[in-house]
Chain A
Amino acid sequence: MIDALWGWPPPVLDPAGPYADKVTTLAWALFGMGVVVTAIVCAALWLAVRGSPRMKALIGGERTIWIGGIAFPGVVLLGLLVWGLTLTASLTQPIRGDEMRIRITGEMWWFRVQYLNADGDIVMEDANELHLPVGVPVVLELEGADVIHSFWVPHLSGKKDMIPGRRTLLRVQADRPGEFGGLCAEYCGSQHALMGFVAIAHKESDWQTWFDDRTTRVARTEMLAETAPPDAMPYPGDAAAYPMELGTLERYDARRGMRLFMESGCAACHRIAGTEANGLAGPDLTHVGSRRSLGAGILPNNRGTMMGWIGDSQSIKPGNRMPSYDVLSAEDIGHIAAFLELQK
């Protein structure tokens, strides 16, 4: 995940879908234009300074300005402008309304991701990860919860701002499976630098399986939680859904972790579907165990990083909205991490 964020090859020049592809072509053309014009200006400068007297006489008049400063750039700019406007128009075709919709909200300093059904209701919530079916155009509804953020997955498309009080729409489409990193591109305060994101494109059939699994499993967990006696603090799952030996063989007890999670304040900010944890301020943790990263793209997701994050998130990402739970013992944090790991 972290590797998918940045780097070589430059994602702007490595498009993975139609909304990035055409821009890449344009980018190469622009770089070519830049090199050629720089070369022309440098050559003209060289001839003006070092050229033969005949050459200097040729350049040293107003005609040079008319040709080099007006006619030539005029033609180049006009050509580019037409291309740019046509491309802008084709990339901003009106949205039909029947596309798949996913709402992404920029928060300080992470992304809330909500999958919507045809009626616009939220059917599943996640954070900092966007799962897409390959070859299907998806409309992202972008919102800003607190300050202005900007959504940018360069492999898939240019960026679009997430503005409080507005809903901006961005179309993306992946044409090949893969993981494509993204970032917040608008300065949004202290931890703007560590606000990462990943888009994961699956083959369409895989995506459907994944999506069905997630939505139905949530429904089942909810049912279980409703039937379980509240004082027993049950482990939210059954043997079929979660391999129990993990919870019994290891040192940390996911059941104790769950109780701690509910009682230590975690649940006030985080929601886990099917449990009494229904806080809305922080990321939804219903599927945290299957995420590729923690802390909005900055840590790999494993037991150690999860414990580190719970115990001392403030030294990992100073100023983030979650306090460091250093009041809990390492043992207790381990239990909580074991519990969260199972929330797939």
Chain B
Amino acid sequence: MKSETGFDHALYDRFPTEARPDGEVRDLERIWASPKGWRRLTAVNNNYVGFWYIVTAFGFFLAAGVLALGMRIQLAAPMQDVLGVDTYNQFFTMHGTVMMFLFAVPAVEAIGIMLLPQMLAARDLPFPRLSAYAYWAYFVGGTMFFLSLFVGLAPDGGWFMYPPLTSIAFSPGINTDFWLLGIGFIEISAIAGAIEIIVGVLRTRAPGMTLDKMPMFAWAMLVFAVMIVVAFPSVILCTMLLEIERAFNWPFFDATRGGDPLLWQHLFWFFGHPEVYIIFIPAAGLMSMMVATVAQTELVGYRLNVLALVATGFISFGVWAHHMFATDMPRVSAGYFSAASMAVSLPAGIQVFCWIATLASGKIRWSTPALFVVGSVVIFTMGGLTGVMVGMVPFDWQAHDTYFIVAHLHYVLMGGMVFPMFAAFYHWHGMTSSRALSDHVGRWVFWLMFAGLHITFFPMHLSGLMGMPRRIYTYMPGRDLDLLNLISTIGAFIMAAGILLFLIDCTRRFRFTVDNDVGNLYGGGTLEWLPTGLYSTRSIPVITSREPLWDRPDLPREVAEGRYFLPNSATGHRETLITSPLFAEPQYVQLMPGPSAWPLSAAIFTAGFFLSLTVQAYAFAIFCGLVAVVSTLRWVWETDRPIKQDRADIGAGIEMPIAITGPQSHGWWALNTLLVVVGMIGFMALFAYFYLSGINGEVWQTPPPLGETVVILGVEALALLGAWGGRRVLALRSGRMAEDLPWIIQAAAAALLTGALWLDVTGWLESGLHPTESGMGATVFMLSVLQGQVVAVAIVMAIYLAFREARGIMTTPTNVTMDIVGRFIGYCAIQGMVFTLVPRIFPGG
């Protein structure tokens, strides 16, 4: 194999080395030890954060499930008044929102944080504090959001929140704001998690674990994270638009002033449909791994399966408008979206038959996870088939927004995500519990859930065809709907009984542990089953196959004896090995931050910020916002702390640099991923501009004069030059102190960005455009809002840079913080140019 980075593959032959001294394990234990007592909350290690994450997500699953039971009681008979209309509407809105945003996405992200480092034999994910922040933002924000239900302030516009129903005219209460801002920090935590996972999967794999030896779950998580990065910006933007429309009366969705209600639907479903695959893909990855373990043979069609995952990710971005077939879209568009919706079921078919072929090529060992795996194939297939049906436009016109769809989506999500998740819980709980759950009870859990699912949801196909629309709090008596609904309600309680049984077994047997686990209950062959402590594996093995534990029975012992990479702490700090993205060749040793209260504080005050905005406590919101920013900066401050040592022995006499900068560094990768997110938000905002100009061109007016545009572009170009120049000057100072000039240049660039934005905004105002008056005003000034956000961040960054210089921790010739600030400011300048130029040269109308 050709080397990717110049690393000599012959060096792998030095492993396994001789056994290392035992004292090194005690060093690792000391360095990776987690804080005790209350300070445990400041832990950032994935064993803790991942576990908390899973428990919290599962808690929300139960809570949203209870809401569903409430709804089923209300619908058990016609014209009941158990919940009442307002409560029912809040229940179904919260059920959907909580299941999608507080359970499904966080749950798969949680499983990723829990399993990925061990599966890749990394010490931890590359940004443990970011994981902790993502978790706490989700925990605090999600809990507060859910509690709104108990004071009757929960949103009631459906999880899809279509304006104008959710506009201020028809939803004057703050219920809707709770949804919009509540979703805000969940978006933040999803994006944070996605960045973490992308960099983790691409850069922290064990040496030799090339892309085609990666566990299927890692592939799935990579696709998942990339999809979040592309899809979530759309929902971030549309929640911002709606909140701005509600708070400041900018008419994005108001048809009377040149907005359009369908703009929301395009933006929402551009996120909303990929969201389904975002949930499904990681679960499919888990399925592929469990199928192999259940059958005790390697996955048949590994490459086809990878192809299927990637294809699903791609195609899922081309199907969003199949939620809008009934909006009278042009025939050609309907045809395209119908075709794409059919196409996306092909990769699903590939995966289903991969699993069937794998089961056939091995010998199945029946167990609880095996039952859940096989059960979910059946359920998912049924849901997929009704999906094909509603992908047919004429049939969708009938089935759309009826209980047929309720049945379809629950089959897909239960078969595609919930059942695999239960399977995964049984399959992997040995990693984190000191006692095993009962397999006997587990089978009861499965059969109750499996039967309950069909009894609940199968009749709904029929009630939909009989004319029962979705989201109704009651229905008329005297027709056969009564019976179907009663059956569904009974089924829901059977399923709930299964989940209750699972909970009982968990309380009786599950005992959390980080170092005394029961281990590999079902004979899995991947690295997470190596002996581990908080530091993950003692040493990081060289990988030569997809199921190393099956192929090399001695591997666990050799790893535990420290006979591979990084058998000790090479620097005396927490660290992990960064490898190259394709072939996983060792590149450098990354220093990892340890426990800290700052991510926790940043998260609490981020949530506080959004919640006080919701209840219109603006002063307190500003306070929370400031504390959150300071906490974040304080946490980041500690993560770029240069140490004297610049090279380390990573085992067998191989030396690697420590904490490098530039395109090879993991920080650079994370920043680029973040910039994709920011860029996508801007891209979607430009889409909104063009979309409205196409629909309501009559409210479009002439842009400011060209000369002004040229001046603004010139200022932005100067800022771009500054962003580059700051880093250049720093490089010229190689070997000396950094001094003030580099940060002053960056600060000047940030100031230029502010000036350019000011010129742009005042130019539009002088031309007579106003954000509240037309769809054009709203979308043009929305671009300014987005630019204002990044400029504000750029200013904070420049000040932060000055502080670091003042403390003398600006290394020369390159520095990670300087790199990041410079690149970010450069990005802001480019975004500013695009935002200035586009509406001024494409005036629409």
B346 touches A74 (CB 8 A): yes
CA distance A207 to B357 in the complex (A): 62
Supposing A37-B381, A158-B394, A160-B328 touch, asked if A49 and B462 sit within 8 A by C-beta, the answer is no
Among B262, B361, B481: residue with most chain A CB under 10 A: B361
Supposing A41-B381, A185-B401, A186-B401 touch, asked if A6 and B255 sit within 8 A by C-beta, the answer is no
State whether the Cβ of B785 lies closer than 8 Å to any Cβ in chain A.
Answer: no
Residue on B with the closest CB to A2?
B476
B301 touches A26 (CB 8 A): no
B392 touches which of A20, A26, A37 (Cβ 8 Å): A26
B467 touches A5 (CB 8 A): yes
Residue on A with the closest CB to B331?
A92
State whether the Cβ of B345 lies closer than 8 Å to any Cβ in chain A.
Answer: yes
Residues in chain B near residue A83, CB distance under 8 A: 392
CA distance A45 to B345 in the complex (A): 19
Among A13, A60, A183: residue with most chain B CB under 10 A: A60
Residues in chain A near residue B478, CB distance under 8 A: 2-3, 7
State whether the Cβ of B85 lies closer than 8 Å to any Cβ in chain A.
Answer: yes
Supposing A62-B301, A68-B356, A88-B331 touch, asked if A6 and B476 sit within 8 A by C-beta, the answer is yes
A60 touches which of B165, B345, B361, B385 (Cβ 8 Å): B361
Q: Which of A27-35, A278-286, A327-335 participates in binding chain B?
A: A27-35
State whether the Cβ of B327 lies closer than 8 Å to any Cβ in chain A.
Answer: yes
B353 touches which of A22, A38, A69, A74 (Cβ 8 Å): A69
Chain A: minimal CB distance from B472 (Å): 3
State whether the Cβ of A268 lies closer than 8 Å to any Cβ in chain B.
Answer: no
A22 touches B170 (CB 8 A): no
Residues in chain B near residue A12, CB distance under 8 A: 398-399, 465-467
B360 touches A64 (CB 8 A): yes
B356 touches A7 (CB 8 A): no
Give chain B interface residues in 325-339, CB to chain A under 8 Å.
Answer: 326-328, 331, 334-335, 338-339
Chain B: minimal CB distance from A29 (Å): 9
CA distance A65 to B258 in the complex (A): 51
State whether the Cβ of A319 lies closer than 8 Å to any Cβ in chain B.
Answer: yes
State whether the Cβ of A47 lies closer than 8 Å to any Cβ in chain B.
Answer: yes
Supposing A49-B364, A193-B475 touch, asked if A161 and B327 sit within 8 A by C-beta, the answer is yes
Residues in chain A near residue B158, CB distance under 8 A: 187
State whether the Cβ of B623 lies closer than 8 Å to any Cβ in chain A.
Answer: no
Chain B: minimal CB distance from A179 (Å): 13
CA distance A57 to B360 in the complex (A): 7
State whether the Cβ of B732 lies closer than 8 Å to any Cβ in chain A.
Answer: no
A73 touches which of B300, B327, B349, B475 (Cβ 8 Å): B349
CA distance A72 to B476 in the complex (A): 43
A62 touches B304 (CB 8 A): yes
Q: Mark A125-160, 1 if CB is under 8 A from B, else 0.
A: 000000000000000000000111010101001111
Residues in chain B near residue A187, CB distance under 8 A: 157-158, 162, 165, 401, 470-471
Residues in chain B near residue A57, CB distance under 8 A: 360-361
Q: Mark A161-185, 1 if CB is under 8 A from B, else 0.
A: 1011110110000000000010111
CA distance A60 to B359 in the complex (A): 7
CA distance A275 to B462 in the complex (A): 47
A319 touches B469 (CB 8 A): no
Q: Mark B509-528, 1 if CB is under 8 A from A, else 0.
A: 00000000000000000000
Total count of chain A residues near the partner, CB < 8 A: 92
B467 touches A6 (CB 8 A): yes
Chain A: minimal CB distance from B397 (Å): 2
State whether the Cβ of A51 lies closer than 8 Å to any Cβ in chain B.
Answer: yes
State whether the Cβ of B393 lies closer than 8 Å to any Cβ in chain A.
Answer: yes
Residues in chain A near residue B156, CB distance under 8 A: 190
B467 touches which of A7, A77, A163, A166 (Cβ 8 Å): A7
Residues in chain A near residue B680, CB distance under 8 A: none
B353 touches A64 (CB 8 A): yes
Residues in chain B near residue A27, CB distance under 8 A: 389, 395, 398, 465
A169 touches B328 (CB 8 A): yes
CA distance A244 to B235 in the complex (A): 63
Supposing A30-B395, A62-B357, A150-B401 touch, asked if A38 and B382 sit within 8 A by C-beta, the answer is yes
Residue on A with the closest CB to B391?
A84
B360 touches A47 (CB 8 A): yes
CA distance A77 to B465 in the complex (A): 23
B356 touches which of A3, A31, A59, A80 (Cβ 8 Å): A59
Residue on A with the closest CB to B330?
A92
Chain B: minimal CB distance from A54 (Å): 11
A89 touches B331 (CB 8 A): yes
Chain B: minimal CB distance from A149 (Å): 10
State whether the Cβ of A260 lies closer than 8 Å to any Cβ in chain B.
Answer: no
CA distance A195 to B152 in the complex (A): 24
A45 touches which of B343, B359, B401, B476 (Cβ 8 Å): B359
Give chain B interface residues in 93-127, CB to chain A under 8 Å.
Answer: none
B467 touches A56 (CB 8 A): no
Residues in chain B near residue A5, CB distance under 8 A: 467, 476, 479
CA distance A165 to B170 in the complex (A): 16
B471 touches A10 (CB 8 A): no
Chain A: minimal CB distance from B87 (Å): 11
B398 touches which of A3, A45, A154, A318 (Cβ 8 Å): A154
Among A6, A42, A58, A65: residue with most chain B CB under 10 A: A65
CA distance A8 to B475 in the complex (A): 14
B357 touches A60 (CB 8 A): yes
A190 touches B359 (CB 8 A): no
A11 touches B467 (CB 8 A): yes
B471 touches A45 (CB 8 A): no
State whether the Cβ of B31 lies closer than 8 Å to any Cβ in chain A.
Answer: no
State whether the Cβ of B490 lies closer than 8 Å to any Cβ in chain A.
Answer: no
Residue on A with the closest CB to B304?
A65
Supposing A69-B349, A160-B326, A163-B327 touch, asked if A38 and B468 sit within 8 A by C-beta, the answer is no
A65 touches B354 (CB 8 A): yes
Residue on A with the closest CB to B474?
A193
State whether the Cβ of B342 lies closer than 8 Å to any Cβ in chain A.
Answer: yes
B466 touches A10 (CB 8 A): yes
Supposing A65-B300, A68-B353 touch, asked if A88 and B338 sit within 8 A by C-beta, the answer is yes
State whether the Cβ of A191 lies closer than 8 Å to any Cβ in chain B.
Answer: yes
B469 touches A152 (CB 8 A): yes
CA distance A69 to B393 in the complex (A): 23
Q: Mark B601-622, 1 if CB is under 8 A from A, else 0.
A: 0000000000000000000000
Q: Mark A56-99, 1 if CB is under 8 A from B, else 0.
A: 11111110110111101110010011011101110110000000
Q: Mark A183-208, 1 if CB is under 8 A from B, else 0.
A: 11111111111101000000000000
Residues in chain A near residue B465, CB distance under 8 A: 10-13, 27
Supposing A30-B392, A73-B346 touch, asked if A6 and B471 sit within 8 A by C-beta, the answer is no
A41 touches B466 (CB 8 A): no
B481 touches A7 (CB 8 A): yes
Among A73, A87, A157, A183: residue with most chain B CB under 10 A: A73
CA distance A72 to B345 in the complex (A): 12
State whether the Cβ of B260 lies closer than 8 Å to any Cβ in chain A.
Answer: yes
A38 touches B381 (CB 8 A): yes
Among A92, A163, A196: residue with most chain B CB under 10 A: A163
Chain B: minimal CB distance from A193 (Å): 3
State whether the Cβ of B140 lies closer than 8 Å to any Cβ in chain A.
Answer: no
CA distance A151 to B471 in the complex (A): 15
Kindly list 5 other residue pairs between chains A and B, CB separation below 8 angstroms, not including A38-B385, A146-B169.
Answer: A44-B353, A48-B357, A165-B255, A168-B327, A186-B162
The 3 A-B residue pairs whose C-beta atoms are closest, nearest first, are: A165-B255, A158-B397, A60-B361
Enumerate chain B interface residues (CB-CB to A < 8 A): 84-86, 89, 156-158, 162, 164-165, 169-170, 255-256, 260-262, 300-301, 304, 326-328, 331, 334-335, 338-339, 342-343, 345-346, 349-354, 356-362, 364, 374, 377-378, 381-382, 385-386, 388-389, 391-402, 462, 465-476, 478-481
22 pairs from A and B in contact (CB 8 Å cutoff): A2-B476, A6-B468, A7-B466, A27-B389, A38-B381, A42-B378, A51-B360, A58-B360, A59-B361, A61-B361, A64-B360, A69-B354, A84-B391, A89-B331, A159-B398, A164-B164, A183-B469, A185-B401, A193-B85, A193-B474, A298-B476, A319-B86
